[in-house]
Amino acid sequence: MPGHCVSPTVLVLTDDPALRDILSTSLLERGLRYQASDSYDDVDINFCLIIAGPDKSATEIGFRLREIGGIPPCILLLRNETTDANPIRCCRCKTLFLPMDIFHLPQALDQLLAFHD
């Protein structure tokens, strides 16, 4: 995971308990620690990665990160459908948001782990 992380922990941000269970299983299978939350208040730069469910807003996450300052983590925005899967870079906080179909998450995690090993 990126070098600016204080702890190699992933934030799972969603109100959906079923999605939270799926994500926690996927992360644990890959040996990753995580913290699950449904609150934007838990968004912080100390996470290596933030995985936000379809019920969470990129705008709200960006506002929170801009308030905190510092180098933001990469954020995977899980969406039920991704008509435009191009990365989005916030012009204010420089956060990289990567929209992705929920079903592509396991492959994305494997690619991130392979890249940062």
pLDDT tens per residue across span 7-58 = 579 999 999 999 899 889 989 988 889 999 999 999 998 898 899 988 998 8
* Distance (Å) of CA 62 to CA 10, 12, 81, 112: 17, 16, 21, 22
> What pTM was computed for the model?
0.78
Closest by CA position to 93, among listed 51, 56, 62, 59: 62
Query: Tokens 């959906």 — which residue?
Result: 16
d(CA 28, CA 95): 25
Q: What is the fold, at CATH topology level, of the domain defined by 9-111?
A: Rossmann fold (3.40.50)
Q: What is the pLDDT of residue 98?
A: 64
Q: What is the pLDDT of residue 48?
A: 86
d(CA 96, CA 67): 16
Q: What is the pLDDT of residue 82?
A: 53
Of the pLDDT bands very low, low, confident and very high (cuts 50, 70, 90), residue 6 is: very low
Beta bridge partners of 78: 100
